[in-house]
């Protein structure tokens, strides 16, 4: 059988955005699995969004960064922490993005509230970025000891006699909007924000079968990356880079056959099959070879069996035993594939079992960002929730391979090692802009179109 030539130009008769990689589509792969994946996996929602170049100044210009700090981050819902980070009254978590800082607190009444992390007296932060789980009956400033109740009302001012001009009602903490979904706590720093559900778009419906609140943080990494937050993030919005950046994966990753969906201004998705060879390969791959590339003993593959199906079957047994839960009813695509939902502005949610991650990207400046990875593991069958993992901080030069038990370390190192060269290449460019693919990089274009609506105010 002749393999398709993926370097040939697309049919000129096709409208922009209509061309697709030759070979099996993601939906064809799901049909071949034959094990009834969730209906959400059967949806297709691509729209052509244009093909104009994107200027590199959007990543490198400090003025553009400052505009985002003024018009994006204070005006959009963003995931701050997990509910399990603040399980008990008095627990708190600090979420910073740029110079903005929010203190998320579990109140005495069990409600979660969020406040600007700045003392009304002299501006002191109540706690440093990343602070978590310091249980107290009140919020106390570490500078002069002024304190507030967990609902933000004033509790005490030392030397109260010296502040006759301060009223009790007028000296409460500056509260910001707070809501929850799927075990995640979201905050919004703007006035009269829209409901969180509007920004989540299709996600509450799609994640009905993937309840994220029934998972816990088994691993948490924080790595400083040498690139603008959008540039770093966009490496994870497409599978186009797999052929070159992750060349070792071409036997097991159907990169160019990935499905890309744009559900609205804030939510997009790709479904990237694992256990299916890349269409870029020039030769056929036997099921035994594919089974070996998946890390299995090819001699153990039953005669006539599909390597993808058998690998998924074994994963159900192995991960089910490791997690202490029953995975027998989980479809092949959920067990194996990279199913990635992006929620604007900076969050990624993978609802699968084999790839069970969440990402978050936050700017540390115009040319540096913090990339967080959470491994969200299903709760054991007894329902007891382990404490969330303590974050492991990695510097720019640190490898993910130093993180114990992190199976995706090599892949993530390959992704992040590209960034300094990409950042510096963008600054060296005389063209001054990047040219995107119409289909495989459509999620990047959607990100920038939505960003522009916020920056326009």
Asked if 309 contacts 348 with a C-beta cutoff of 8 angstroms, the reply is no
Asked if 21 contacts 260 with a C-beta cutoff of 8 angstroms, the reply is no
Instruction: Convert 386-412 to b/e letters by CB count within 10 Å (16 or more is b).
Output: eebeebbebeeebebeebeebeebebb
Q: How many CB atoms lie within 10 A of CB 377?
A: 20
Look up residue 308 and give its DSSP letter: H
C-alpha span between 258 and 26 (Å, rounded) = 6
State the pTM of this model: 0.95
The two structure tokens encoding residue 382: 């007894």
**Crossing angle of helices 62-71 and 442-455, rounded to 10°:** 70
Query: Which ranges in 24-145 belong to alpha helices (H)?
Result: 26-33, 57-60, 62-71
Query: Which ranges in 254-364 belong to alpha helices (H)?
Result: 287-293, 307-323, 332-336
Strand ordering across the sheet containing 338-343: 259-262, 267-272, 338-343, 347-349, 357-365, 368-378, 215-225, 392-394
Instruction: Convert 336-355 to b/e letters by CB count within 10 Å (16 or more is b).
Output: bbbbbbbbbbbbbbbbbbbb
> Is the bond preceding 345 in cis, omega lying within 30 degrees of 0?
yes
Residues sharing a CB contact under 8 Å with residue 108, sequence separation 6 or more, in sequence order: 89, 90, 137, 149, 150, 151
The two structure tokens encoding residue 100: 């903005």
Which pLDDT belongs to residue 190?
96
Helix (H) or strand (E) holding 409: helix 409-417
Which segments in the chain show pLDDT lower than 70? 1-9, 133
Query: What is the four-CA torsion angle of 200, 201, 206, 210, rounded to 10 degrees?
Result: 0
The two structure tokens encoding residue 343: 């929620």
**pLDDT tens-digit profile of 269-314?**
999 999 999 999 988 999 999 999 999 999 999 999 999 999 999 9
Q: In a 10 Å sphere around its CB, with 0-12 CB exposed, 13-18 middle and 19+ buried, how is residue 26 labelled?
A: buried
**Crossing angle of helices 409-417 and 419-428, rounded to 10°:** 10
Asked if 183 contacts 84 with a C-beta cutoff of 8 angstroms, the reply is yes
**For the residues of 91-114, what is the DSSP string, one character each?**
-EEEEEETTEEEEEEE-TTS-EEE
For 19, the 3-state DSSP assignment is: coil
Please, what are the domains in the chain?
26-58+209-455 (3.90.380), 78-192 (2.102.10.10)
**pLDDT tens-digit profile of 98-117?**
999 999 999 999 999 999 99
Which pLDDT belongs to residue 4?
60
């Amino acid at each position: 059988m002749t393999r398709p030539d993926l370097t040939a130009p697309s049919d000129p008769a096709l409208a922009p955005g209509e061309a697709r990689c030759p070979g099996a589509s993601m939906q064809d792969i799901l049909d071949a699995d034959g094990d009834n994946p969730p209906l959400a996996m059967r949806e297709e929602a691509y729209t052509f969004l244009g093909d104009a170049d994107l200027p590199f100044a959007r990543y490198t210009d400090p003025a553009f960064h400052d505009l985002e700090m003024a018009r994006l981050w204070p005006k959009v819902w963003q995931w701050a922490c997990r509910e399990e980070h603040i399980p008990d009254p008095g627990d708190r978590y600090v979420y910073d993005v740029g110079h903005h800082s929010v203190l998320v607190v579990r109140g005495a009444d069990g409600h979660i509230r969020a406040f600007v992390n700045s003392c009304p007296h002299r501006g002191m932060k109540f706690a440093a970025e990343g602070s978590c789980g310091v249980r107290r009956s009140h919020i106390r400033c570490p500078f002069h000891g002024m304190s507030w109740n967990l609902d933000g009302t004033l509790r005490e001012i030392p030397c109260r006699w010296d502040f006759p001009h301060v009223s009790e009602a007028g000296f409460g903490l500056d509260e910001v909007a707070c809501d929850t979904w799927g075990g995640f706590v979201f905050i919004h720093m703007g006035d009269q924000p829209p409901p969180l559900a509007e920004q989540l778009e299709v996600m509450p419906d799609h994640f009905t079968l993937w309840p994220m609140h029934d998972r816990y943080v088994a691993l948490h990494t924080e790595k400083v990356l040498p690139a603008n937050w959008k540039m770093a993030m966009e490496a994870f919005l497409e599978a186009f880079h797999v052929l070159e950046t992750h060349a070792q994966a071409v036997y097991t990753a159907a990169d160019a056959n990935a499905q890309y969906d744009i559900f609205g201004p804030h939510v997009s998705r790709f479904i990237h099959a694992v256990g299916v060879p890349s269409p870029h390969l020039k030769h056929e791959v036997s099921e035994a070879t594919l089974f070996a590339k998946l890390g299995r003993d090819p001699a153990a593959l039953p005669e006539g069996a599909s390597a993808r199906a058998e690998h998924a079957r074994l994963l159900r047994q192995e991960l089910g035993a490791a997690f202490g839960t029953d995975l027998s009813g989980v479809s092949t695509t959920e067990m194996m594939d990279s199913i990635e939902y992006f929620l604007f502005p900076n969050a990624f949610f993978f609802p699968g079992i084999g790839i069970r991650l969440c990402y978050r990207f936050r700017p540390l400046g115009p040319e540096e960002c913090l990339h967080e990875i959470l491994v969200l593991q299903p709760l054991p069958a007894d329902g007891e929730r382990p404490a969330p993992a303590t974050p492991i901080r990695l510097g720019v030069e640190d490898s993910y391979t130093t993180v114990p038990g992190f199976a995706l370390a090599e892949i993530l190192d390959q992704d992040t090692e590209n960034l300094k060269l990409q950042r510096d290449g963008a600054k060296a460019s005389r063209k001054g802009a990047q040219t995107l693919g119409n289909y495989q990089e459509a999620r990047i274009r959607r990100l920038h179109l939505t960003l522009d609506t916020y920056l326009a105010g």
